Structure 1
Amino acid sequence: MDQSRAEFHQQHQAAACAEAQRLYAEKAILQGAWLNWVAAQLYNLRPAAYASMVRRELQRLQEQAQP
């Protein structure tokens, strides 16, 4: 039986946050090349629900960083 969306979210939230922080930290290093690089990283994450969690957290980090 498949786990519920809420269960999946609870089990993977900490890892998704850590992964988003890792990806976001590369922004200062890669600068202009970061957008293509991070898109490729997100594309390779599985399952898709986990990739979406990381993408949302990454968006939150970017929004927090803007003045």
Structure 2
Amino acid sequence: MSRAEFHQQRAEQASIEARRLLAERETLGARWLPWVASELYRLSPAAYAAMVRRELERLTAQ
């Protein structure tokens, strides 16, 4: 599978996952950042985790 195909197949799920992580920010307060880091660490494959991280960065920049 090419990188582009991988991205296309997982883009929607990465967006959903990033929104799930972001939804916990208010609830967790100061603990949110370490929690997000641990959640991202658990995701696999690494390319998918990177997609979620980029989407999370995009959402928080808005």
How many residues align? The count is: 62
Paired residue for 1:28, among 3, 26, 42?
26
In the TM superposition, 1:3-22 aligns within 5 A as 3-22=1-20
In the TM superposition, residue 62 of structure 1 has moved relative to its aligned partner by: 0.6
Normalising by structure 1, what TM-score?
A: 0.92
Deviation of 1:29 after TM superposition, in Å, equals: 0.5
Residues 13-56 of structure 1 show CA distances to partners (whole Å, capped at 9, x for unaligned) of: 00000000000000010010000000000000000000000000
Q: Aligned-pair RMSD on alpha carbons? A: 0.3
Distance 2:45 2:20 in 1: 18
> Structure 2: how far apart are the matches of 1:49 and 1:4?
12
Q: Indicate whether 1:48 and 2:46 are aligned.
A: yes
The structure number with the bigger radius of gyration is 1
Unaligned runs of 5+ in 1: none
Gaps of 5+ in 2: none
TM-score, scaled relative to structure 2: 0.99
Identity of aligned residues (%): 61
For 1:60 and 1:31, the matched residues in 2 are separated by 20
